[in-house]
Amino acid sequence: MKNTRKNTSKNAEISTEKNISVALAQIRQRISAAERRFNRAPNSVQLLAVSKTKPVTAIQIAIEAGQCCFAENYLQEAVKKIMYFKNPQLIWHFIGSIQSNKTRDIAQLFQWAHTIDRIKIARRLNEQRPDHLPPLNICLQINISGENSKSGIAPDELIQLANDCSSLANIKIRGLMAMPAQDSDLERQRIPFRELKRLFTELQSTHPELDTLSMGTTNDLEAAIAEGATIVRIGTAIFGSRNY
Ligand SMILES: *Cc1c(COP(=O)(O)O)cnc(C)c1O
């Protein structure tokens, strides 16, 4: 139906609300379709909603549509949102780059951090994790496409970092995370994800408790699911494009 009414702010709100819940339903369908197409078990891929730069009103709509896992990149912004909701049902994942001065808030407020690429950061998170909370779940970030501009360790540094982290009682290594170079072709997108999966399987031989491959975004989630993603991190397809 064509909307010929005046676009009052009330209407604009209603349409955003509808868009986010419709978009969430569509992305869940995209994930299920990829699970079927690539012979993955149903519901083996978790949807992480990347809400960076988006207002709490947008997050609220996603919560009402059944979403409970959210990811943020910018710490100050994330802290405000977490404090605003104060909702123990929500699970917050930190996916931005981590400097030393950010570790305390991450250790206190988040359940997951996906971007660990230095033992120094892991040690600080371990020390600062409050005793009354379960261990902080972490993923080790790999610079899988070898880009100069990207954070993450080189693949040959992985075993050392994993071994060093595994002695820290207040953090728990769950798996690997990567953000490969952009590519529009499914088969080419699959190559770095396949490599991440290979590193993951190799690491599982000495760390059998690992269960998480955090890979795939709006543009490449099918390729990531084809290669074994267990968490996809989706922003744009749920909340629309971002204005920085
Ligand atoms: C922003 C971001 C995403 C989400 O990307 P979209 O293309 O918006 O789905 C996923 N992972 C990381 C690390 C990000 O910074």
Please name which of 173, 219, 171, 174 lies closest in space to residue 193, comparing C-alpha atoms: 219
Q: Work out the percent of the chain whose per-residue pLDDT is above 90.
A: 90
Q: Max Cα separation, the chain?
A: 62
**Pocket lining: 217 vs ligand 1, CB cutoff 6 Å:** yes
Instruction: Say which residue, 5 or 181, is predicted with more confidence.
Output: 181
pLDDT mean across residues, the chain? 94
**Mean pLDDT over residues 86-96, rounded?**
98
Q: Which DSSP category does 101 fall into?
A: G
Q: Is residue 244 part of a domain?
A: no
> And the tokens for 121?
């950061």
Q: Which of 48, 50, 189, 244 to mutate to test the pocket of ligand 1 (most atoms within 8 A of CB)?
A: 50
Span from the CA of 73 to the centroid of ligand 1 (angstroms): 9
Determine if ligand 1 sits within 6 Å of the CB of residue 113.
no
Whether 220 maps to a domain, the answer reads yes
Tell whether 169 is covered by a domain.
yes
CA of 5 to the centre of ligand 1 (A): 35
Q: Assess contact for 35 and 45: CB atoms under 8 A.
A: yes
* Ligand 1 neighbourhood includes 107 CB (under 6 angstroms): no
182 domain-assigned: yes
What's the rounded mean pLDDT across residues 133-143? Answer: 98
Q: Is the pLDDT of residue 8 over 60?
A: no
> In this predicted structure, what is the pLDDT of residue 14?
57
List Cα–Cα distances, 136 to 13, 128, 230, in angstroms.
Answer: 36, 10, 18
What CA–CA distance (Å, rounded) separates 197 from 178? Answer: 10
Cα 177–182–183 angle (5° rounding)? 120
Residue pair 180/145 in contact (Cβ under 8 Å)? The answer is yes
Place 150 in a pLDDT band, splitting at 50, 70 and 90: confident
How much is the average pLDDT of 139-154?
Answer: 92
List, for residues 9-44, the tens digit of each pLDDT value.
555 555 676 699 999 999 999 999 999 999 999 999
* 222 belongs to a structural domain: yes
The answer, yes or no, to whether any atom of ligand 1 lies below 6 A from the CB of 152, is no
Name the residue of 98, 233, 242 whose CB sits within 8 Å of the most ligand 1 atoms, as the mutation to test its pocket: 233
Report residue 185's pLDDT band, with 50, 70 and 90 as the boundaries: very high
Q: Is the CB of 218 under 6 A from ligand 1?
A: yes
CA distance 183 to 145: 11
Does the Cβ of 233 fall within 6 Å of ligand 1?
Answer: yes
With beta carbons less than 8 A apart as the criterion, state whether 230 and 221 touch. Answer: no
Supply 180's token pair.
């490969």
> Under 8 Å CB-to-CB from 134, ≥6 apart: which residues?
none
Residue whose CA lies nearest to ligand 1 atom number 13? 95
How much of the chain is helix, strand and coil, in % rounded to 5?
A: 45, 15, 40
Residue 177 to residue 167: CA distance in whole angstroms:
20
Q: Tell me the mean pLDDT in the region 57-73.
A: 98
Burial pattern 58-83, b for ≥16 Cβ within 10 A else e, equals bbebbbebebebbbbbebeebbebbe
Quick one: pLDDT at residue 221? 98
Ligand 1 pocket member 238 (CB < 6 A): no
Q: Is 108 left (phi over 0), alpha (psi -120 to 50) or beta?
A: alpha
pLDDT digits (tens, 9 = 90+) for 161-174: 999 999 999 999 99
Q: For ligand 1, pick from 93, 217, 219, 225 the residue to mutate: most ligand atoms within 8 Å of CB.
A: 217
pLDDT of residue 88: 96
Range of the domain at 54: 2-239
Question: With bands split at pLDDT 50, 70 and 90, how would you rate the model's confidence at 111?
Answer: very high
Query: Which CATH number is 186's domain given?
Result: 3.20.20.10
Q: What total number of domains does the chain contain?
A: 1
Share of the chain above pLDDT 70, in %: 93
What per-residue confidence (pLDDT) applies to 15? 61
Looking at the domain assignment, is residue 149 inside a domain?
yes
Q: What is the pLDDT of residue 32?
A: 98
